[in-house]
Amino acid sequence: MDKFDVIIIGAGHAGCEAGLATARMGFRTVVFTLALDSVAMMPCNPSIGGPGKAHLVREMDTLGGEIGRNTDFAYMHMRVLNTKKGPAVQALRAQTDRKLYSWRMRQVLESQPGLYLREGCVESVLVEGDRVQGVTLRTGERVAGCCVIVASGTYMRSLIHVGEIHYESGPQSQQTTHGLSRSLEELGFRLVRFKTGTPPRANSRSLDYDRMTPMPGEQVSRGFSFRGELERKKQVPCWLTYTTSTTHAIISANLGRTALYSGAIVGIGPRYCPSIESKIVQFPDKSSHQIFVEPEGWDTQEVYLSGVSTSLPADIQMEVVRSIPGLENAEIMRLAYAIEYDCLAPHQLQLDLQAKSIEGLYFAGQINGSSGYEEAAAQGLMAGINCGRKLQGKPPLVLGRDQAYIGVLIDDLVTKTITEPYRMMTSLAEYRLLLRQDNADRRLADYGREVGLLSEKAYEEIQRKWATVDRQIEGLRQWRVSPSAEVNQALEGFGSTPLQNEVSGEQLLRRPEMSYDRLIALGWEGVTGDELRSLVETEIKYAGYIRKQERAVDRFRRLEARRLPGWLDYGRVEGLSKEAQEKLAAVRPTSLGQASRIAGVSPADISVLMIYLEHRGRSERG
């Protein structure tokens, strides 16, 4: 029987990051995939990033993850979103070549020492007592492992819906698996049914781009990875069009034939990535919806019709697509479909993504109720890191909500009641001005080096960059600008108030209309490079808001520091509401802060717990 330190079930975005992390930490790792040709497959939109998601990718890159470098290699179109808004919500987004993305990730896995990539279907998890022992395959083989990470994506008992037609399949005609679901249920895990979907794909040659609005890519100064320069490419455009009243009429007339509204689908779908029929029903007064036409690869005519996700029958899908300007003669290459699948109710996990009931068994990715490649990859990386640290005899790495979007993601999954596929958004991060995508390397570089996944060279480059930023900020504090006819004329040209008294460069840069480049026009000897200039400007302009959030973080950390013992019997804590007793017993929070974020636990319940802990503390000291 083969023996490994770590067994990964699945080679999607979570499984790839988990396997690379444990192998790079020095542990013999095997990654099982249902199909070798589907490693890091992107069955939905082949894009990475966007608000919240780009933050996750930058954080993973600093911790030693691969998704950022893979995206920078395979991108076809890149731009920064929300540039007219504040830096907390600005986010990089890339359209990638779907096959190139998968090909490179597979090459990275195959060439990684200590990592074994193997095609095979895992049917069950082997457990002895409360400790994982390995897995069994559909072929009957048994594979032993000290730790197992389940990263099975949307393939467990997956069911495809296209109108009135329903059949068992994974995404894009991949095989599904039943055995793993049964095995987890037999081990006492509670599974739930979720649903997601994907739009049709069309042949680019059949579209009329003159009737659409082009959306060109941008030459950005920094890609998703801090480790290395972004290759400059001639980018392909994406295109924007809209649904029409005819589109809406077709969908409304055929709602009964959709799997979603006919009752065939029982799984809960994503709120923030709804099907086109859901949009029509939920927003009846909206006359049109955006449709983005996005390329799938450099050497294919296949394009992705973002915004037309549906479970309508094939004939109606064709009518819907051809009612949209520019798509009147569209040739459909792949039909849209909805897919239902099994996933884990994630409150059964600890914050290190290890199961509460079985030691050495970890879960990561869409099986934990999340949606999206970035969310899956982040969980895979953290599960891999914590699995490796467990084998090293070290405490797990658990990032707080005040430290990283990764911390927000995992805390939300484990602590809150997840009733629909979870999507990372900037609005979910309380301290998002501190957790910007541009400072992820400063926040997390120490952790990346500590776990051994960020090289010393990369770490030192990050430290040098931020030392330069700090020197620039201090220099601007010292640099004085005196009122003069030349200076005031320049300021008026910038739409700024002339000076009456001498001010520092820092004070001047805080003015909303002033920029780093405008300071250079006034005589400041600045640094070169758009990235450094942007960082200096952001740190100065938002210094007051940043200090305010830092004070809020101090209050948050005090609550997080109040630990809740694992043995606490909430049913015997007088004053707790019945609902709070049930929710606290199910989640078993590790701190008062985590307890306060559980749905059904009120501020009054938290006060009761604080008083209870004070009494316990006094009794023990007495």
Residue by residue, DSSP assigns 342-390 as EEE-GGGB-TTSBBSSSBTEEE-SGGGTB-SHHHHHHHHHHHHHHHHHH
Write down the pLDDT at residue 526.
83
pLDDT mean over 199-205: 97
Tell me what pLDDT residue 144 has.
97
Compute the half-sphere exposure of residue 457: CA atoms within 13 Å on the CB side of its CA. Answer: 2
- Residue 125's DSSP bridge partners are 135
User: 610 in helix, strand or coil?
Assistant: helix
pLDDT in tens, 317-368: 999 999 999 999 999 999 999 999 999 999 999 999 999 999 999 999 999 9
* pLDDT given for residue 117 in this prediction: 98
- What pTM was computed for the model? 0.94
Scored b (16 or more CB within 10 A) or e, 241-279 reads bbbeeebbebbeebeebbbbbeebbebbbbeebbbbbbb
CA angle in degrees (0–180, nearest 5) for 119-121-124: 140
Give the confidence band of 620 by pLDDT, cuts at 50, 70, 90: low
| CA 17/CA 31 separation, integer angstroms | 10
Angle value at C-alpha 158, between 156 and 164, nearest 5 degrees: 170
For the chain, what's the residue count? 622
Q: For residue 80, which of 278, 221, 183 has the smallest C-alpha distance?
A: 221
Distances (CA, A) of 244 to 260, 275, 287, 322, 336: 22, 16, 7, 10, 19
- Tell me the pLDDT tens digit for each residue of 372-397: 999 999 999 999 999 999 999 999 99
Could you tell me which residues come within 8 angstroms of residue 128 by beta carbon, excluding any fewer than 6 positions away?
Answer: none
Q: Are strands 115-119 and 29-33 parallel, antiparallel or unpaired?
A: parallel
How confident is the model at residue 362, as a pLDDT? 98
| Structure confidence by residue, pLDDT tens digits, 19-36 | 999 999 999 999 999 999
Q: Are 516 and 536 in contact (CB under 8 A)?
A: yes
Please give the domain boundaries of the chain with CATH numbers for all domains: 201-337 (2.40.30.260), 456-549 (1.10.10.1800), 562-621 (1.10.150.570)
Q: List pLDDT tens digits, range 157-181.
A: 999 999 999 999 988 888 999 999 9
Q: What per-residue confidence (pLDDT) applies to 53?
A: 97
Residue 522, CA distances (Å) to 191, 536, 541 in order: 63, 17, 18
How does DSSP classify residue 101? Answer: H
Q: Which two tokens stand for residue 337?
A: 């479909």
Residues 219 and 232: beta-carbon distance below 8 Å? yes
